[in-house]
Structure 1
């Protein structure tokens, strides 16, 4: 497990002993209309090039958001190479095709393909983190990620196996669909897997040569999943009850069954994507970021669950009503809202701290991210 080393003696001498903690707010200077123009151009060029331009579109998007993210009067920046993103896109498509069609050729080919996916996935996820963070800078100083390959496998193999196992069992035994339910008990450990993923992401962050500290008990994630499960159960039961009453009033069994099916589908979709999803994002983000720190720098996330769920619901409705045209405005609103509830507490002056870290990191840190990993995300 990664541990945080003590700051060097020279850093302690340079930091003012009487420096009082300062709370800094992150802000976003972009707006929906400006991003809409970028989004439209990106969409048009992506369609015109049959998806090839999507890599350059993503780099433009990340640069726009990073360059408009302000902390203490300075903005972030993104330096990623679109070619690395394109390679990641092509590889992710190949992996997706292989997953869906491997068993169509033969059982042996399918098993070999699944084994290859399990072996490649953790390594690629680590590369994606190194690419994203290593190509992000603040005040000219690159961020970074130093999680090892071994830690990546310990983190990502269990959830990857849990996700792939039902489909593999079904492909091997098409006449016995009940076998696909055998791995379901593994999902009881999903909160622990989620907690390990967040630890891997946060405990290995780098700011110059400074390592992050992350201390969260994995069992705390169970509460969030229990609340989410109870929310889904209560919503679905309520939908069945209301639909059953309506069906009974109409006097038609067929109508009652149809109404119940539609109600359950609609409610489950709404709860999972617009209530459970945002709720987990809020609770996990608040917990993880509020327990992440660098020497002299601490984070505090205060996202309110109800307001965030309301924002996501509004964005979803407006996106549907505008046939997708509201999407860039929704992305900006969510990004700005999350930034507004993330605060940075600094002992003394962040400019001096960043300058000191840059001096210690040296020239090697300036180009350390070049060529690191690829980007698999969309």
Structure 2
């Protein structure tokens, strides 16, 4: 018996999105960048509210104020460090300066697990479907242990372990996430991803890059289709219909729209790209949307916004 299919839809209005982009551009310019946190949040709210599943839209509940507090902490941190480095340099303390710079960059690298953990926790707590919030139920210590163990193996194998590294971290994040009475699990294996990556590299070389689009599609399908949802013991599968041809057409279309409009069509090109990746997704199985229960929320906790802000700040910079 075939499973019931519930496709995702991305219902957007290019006019509304253009107005949002224009508003964000001018406010960021006039406020000398201080509006960036609110711009990021408004973008997330628009995208989430455009994603529809079974007649219901997703929603994002983060606020610019929360993100701004995180950005403010980062700003104060970097200004303080800059003054400290300048003080050492002006007083000829070159040896101490060199050590301080190394320590600073080491701490930046060590902050990566904190950024990943807290940004995921924040985003899950601020994302809802049918009024029910997602919930990431893992403490930082557990994630840090997993991240450190996987990182050591990655370095010891000269990055050959990367497929296992990324799948195991993805598993930790997914397996500790739920929405209401639906548990999320990631069942992908590092060996599977290694095979996909090895095949992709070899065929991309042999085909002079042509296979790269199909390789990208295979990677996307691996991560999407290895996500399983469980409600009252019933398995619900995630399916992806994306193919290499879809990605090739998307890349060409994105480039043409952007170039032929001298950049003015970029917002529309971005939306069409998001539409492709969202509307090739579906969930299959018997799911009771009406029996969702409310997950715990982190609305009253701002401690997590620093990690989320670091993550968003990096995204905004690049």
TM-score (normalised: structure 2) = 0.78
Query: Which of 49, 56, 60 matches 2:42?
Result: 60
Give the drift of 1:324. Answer: 2.7
Q: CA deviation at 1:49?
A: 1.4
Q: Tell me if the contact between 1:287 and 1:301 (Cα under 8 Å) persists in the aligned partners.
A: no
More helix by share: 1
- The alpha-carbon deviation at position 86 of structure 1 amounts to 2.5
Equivalent residue number for residue 353 of structure 1: 291
Q: Find the aligned partners of 1:226 and 1:93 in 2 and give their Cα distance.
A: 42
Residue number in structure 1 paired with 2:226: 291
- Within-5 A mapping of 1:2-21: 21=3
Q: 2:9 aligns with which of 11, 27, 38?
A: 27
Question: How many residue pairs align between the two structures?
Answer: 294
- Spell out, residue by residue over 1:177-199, the C-alpha distance to the aligned partner (whole angstroms, 9 max, x if none): xxxxxx79623222222222322
Match of 2:122 among 118, 131, 152: 131
Q: Distance in 2 between matches of 1:211 and 1:111?
A: 42
Q: Give me the whole-angstrom Cα distance separating, in 2, the residues matched to 1:25 and 1:108.
A: 54
Verify: 1:212 aligned to 2:184, yes or no.
yes
SS of equivalent to 2:62: coil
Q: How far did residue 217 of structure 1 move?
A: 1.1
| Structure 1, unaligned runs of 5 or more | 1-18, 164-182, 239-270
| 2:111 match: secondary structure | helix
Residues 171, 185 of structure 2: 8 Å contact kept: no
Pairing 1:122-201 to 2, within 5 Å after superposition: 122-157=113-148, 186-201=158-173
User: 1:1-378 residue pairs with structure 2 within 5 A?
Assistant: 21-89=3-71, 106-157=97-148, 186-230=158-202, 233-234=205-206, 276=212, 281-292=216-227, 293-295=229-231, 296=234, 297-348=236-287, 350-354=288-292, 357-358=293-294, 361=295, 365=296, 367-371=297-301, 373-374=304-305, 375=308, 376-377=311-312, 378=315
Q: 1:94 to 1:326 in 2, by over 3 A?
A: farther
Give ranges in structure 2 of 5+ residues lacking alignment.
none
Note if contact 1:122-1:153 (Cα within 8 Å) is conserved in structure 2.
Answer: yes
Whole-Å Cα distance in 2 between the matches of residues 135 and 231 of structure 1? 41
Deviation at 1:85, TM superposition (A): 2.0
Residues 201-222 of structure 1 show CA distances to partners (whole Å, capped at 9, x for unaligned) of 3222211254312211111111
Change (3 A) 1:188 1:41: same
* Range that drifts further, 39-48 or 222-231: 222-231
| Max Rg structure | 1
Q: Under a length normalisation based on structure 1, what TM-score does the superposition of the two structures give?
A: 0.67
For the residues of structure 1 that align with 2:35 and 2:167, how far apart are their CA atoms? 35
